[in-house]
């Protein structure tokens, strides 16, 4: 990203919310508000007139709501969009739909009054808006030939017993594609950490389940892991794996503090899987902001696990997988469309 300010258009039908979002965003000197809009019709006109770098978009608006505006905008003037969403079950459904239409990420709608989490909400909004300027949109052509760190020297594969996947920004769509690409007879269980609020993960797991030949469920304490099942860490809890012999492997949930400001943490999940399965693991790091997963991948790889990371050409945000590659703990950097095939190869030891 260059040194110029991130030019933001705020679209929200509430005068109060437009003002509040403006105050939050302009508190960071890297951000400039170039305009506001009161509904989707006004928003589309302002997108055309102002050419912002990033749009923050409310859901419930008159005349043309947020989803309608997003869908039309991604066809005619594709830009990075951050949805401003209510952390409710209904909000989860709408936000997941928005992610499927191409929005980059979402933030919790800030309260109109001061609350204990106001600072966290503001920091999250600012970080995601700044990140969004350089995000790659799903609707844009893939960019090939981008310079990426070289993966570690390839190693011989053995048979693996479990797959552990980490994702953050851009992850919902990446996971949707990955799970859809995997065959129904995939022979080992899959554990997934996607950075997402606790109100969203059950709905997200159901969406993945409907798209995949595998069964996908939100992880619960004591849930047994088995071939053909993928589990998603519930928001607000770290997913750990407990192995019992005899009896197989089971999910555990930890209420430990956030790691690198995220909960669930891929580092905790990866380290747990490494402790229980040693090197008989394939670790996968997909698109995402930050570096969660790198330390856990290092632990896995030190025990002989095989690590795959999504390459820059398909990442919405080349952050988590880049950090792992730069740390030298990645065996293969692959575009998203090649990862399912690589996983089948890895778990079958061919």
CATH 3.40.50.180 maps onto the chain at 162-348
> What whole-number distance in Å separates Cα of residue 161 and Cα of residue 268?
18
To the nearest whole number, what is the mean pLDDT of the chain? Answer: 90
* 237 neighbors 253 (Cβ within 8 angstroms): yes
Report whether CATH 3.40.50.720 matches the domain 162-348. Answer: no
Tokens, residue 163 = 């797959």
Mean pLDDT, rounded, for 69-98: 89
Query: Comparing C-alpha atoms, which of 152, 159, 165, 153 is closest to residue 278?
Result: 159
Q: Where in the chain is the domain with CATH 3.40.50.2300?
A: 6-132
> Which is the catalytic residue, given 85, 168, 203, 271?
168
pLDDT of residue 3: 60
Catalytic one of 39, 42, 105, 195: 195
Residues 5-28, mean pLDDT to the nearest whole number: 95
pLDDT at res. 70: 96
Region of poorest pLDDT, from 16-25, 43-52, 242-251, 321-330: 242-251
Question: Cα(168)–Cα(135) distance, rounded to whole angstroms?
Answer: 13
pLDDT of 93 reads 87
Active site residue 168: yes
- Per-residue confidence (pLDDT) for residue 120, from 0 to 100: 78
- By the 10 Å C-beta count (0-12 exposed, 13-18 middle, 19+ buried), 186 is classed as buried
Residues 290, 281: Cα–Cα separation, whole Å: 23
pLDDT digits (tens, 9 = 90+) for 181-230: 999 999 999 999 999 999 899 999 999 999 999 999 999 999 999 999 99
CATH of domain 6-132: 3.40.50.2300
Point out the least confidently predicted range of 139-153, 286-300, 309-323.
139-153
Q: Are 320 and 296 in contact (CB under 8 A)?
A: no
More confident residue, 243 or 111: 243
Would the pLDDT of 29 be above 70? yes
Banded pLDDT at 338 (limits 50, 70, 90):
very high
Q: What is the pLDDT of residue 245?
A: 66
Question: Does pLDDT of 280 surpass 60?
Answer: yes
Banded model confidence at residue 348, pLDDT cuts 50, 70, 90: confident
Q: What would the mean pLDDT of 155-181 be, rounded to a whole number?
A: 89
Looking at residue 37, its pLDDT comes to: 98
Residue 138: active-site member: no
Backbone region of residue 63 per phi and psi (left: phi > 0; alpha: psi in -120 to 50; beta: other values): left
- Given a cut of 70, whether residue 350 has pLDDT beyond it is no
Predicted confidence (pLDDT) per residue in 106-163, tens digit:
998 876 554 545 677 889 999 999 999 999 886 433 433 344 555 554 555 556 899 9
- DSSP string for 275-322: HHHTT-EEEEE-SBSS-TTHHHHHHHHHTT-EEEEE-TTT-SSBSHHH
Whether the link from the prior residue into 186 is cis, omega within 30° of 0, is no
pLDDT of residue 88: 72
pLDDT at 2 over 90: no
**118 belongs to the catalytic site:** no
Q: Tell me which of 288 and 157 has the higher pLDDT.
A: 288
Q: What percent of the chain has pLDDT over 90?
A: 79
What is residue 137's predicted lDDT score, i.e. its pLDDT? 83
The structure tokens 């594609």 sit at 177
pLDDT at position 144? 38
Q: Which of 12, 105, 124, 292 is catalytic?
A: 292
């Amino acid at each position: 990203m260059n040194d110029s300010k991130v030019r933001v258009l705020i679209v929200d039908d509430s005068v109060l919310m437009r003002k509040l979002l403006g105050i939050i965003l302009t508190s960071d000197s890297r951000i400039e508000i170039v305009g506001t809009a009161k509904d989707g019709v006004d928003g589309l006109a302002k997108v055309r007139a102002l050419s912002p770098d990033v749009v923050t978009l409310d859901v419930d608006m008159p005349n043309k709501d947020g989803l309608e505006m997003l869908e039309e905008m991604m066809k005619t003037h594709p830009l990075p969009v951050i949805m401003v969403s209510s952390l409710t079950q209904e909000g989860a459904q709408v936000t997941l739909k928005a992610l499927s239409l191409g929005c980059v990420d979402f933030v919790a709608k800030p309260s109109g009054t001061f609350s204990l989490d106001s600072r966290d909400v503001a920091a999250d909004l600012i970080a995601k808006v700044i990140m969004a300027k350089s995000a790659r949109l799903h609707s844009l052509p893939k960019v090939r030939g981008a310079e990426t760190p070289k993966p570690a020297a390839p190693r011989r594969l053995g048979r693996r017993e479990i797959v552990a996947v980490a994702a953050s920004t851009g992850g919902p769509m990446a996971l949707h594609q990955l799970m859809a690409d995997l065959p129904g007879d995939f022979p080992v269980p899959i554990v997934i950490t996607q950075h997402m609020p606790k109100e969203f993960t059950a709905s997200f797991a159901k969406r993945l389940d409907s798209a995949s030949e595998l069964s996908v469920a939100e992880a619960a304490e004591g849930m047994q892991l088995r071939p053909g099942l993928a589990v998603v860490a519930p928001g607000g809890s770290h997913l750990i794996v407990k192995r019992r012999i005899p009896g197989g492997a089971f999910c555990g949930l930890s209420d430990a503090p956030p790691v690198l400001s995220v909960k669930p943490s891929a580092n905790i999940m990866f380290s747990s899987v490494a402790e229980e399965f040693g090197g008989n693991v394939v670790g996968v790091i997909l698109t995402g902001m930050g570096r969660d997963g790198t330390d856990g991948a290092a632990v896995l790889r030190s025990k002989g696990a095989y690590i795959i990371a999504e390459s820059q050409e398909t990442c919405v945000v080349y952050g988590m997988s880049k950090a792992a590659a730069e740390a030298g703990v990645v065996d293969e950097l692959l575009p998203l469309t090649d990862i399912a095939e690589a996983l089948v190869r890895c778990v079958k030891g061919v």
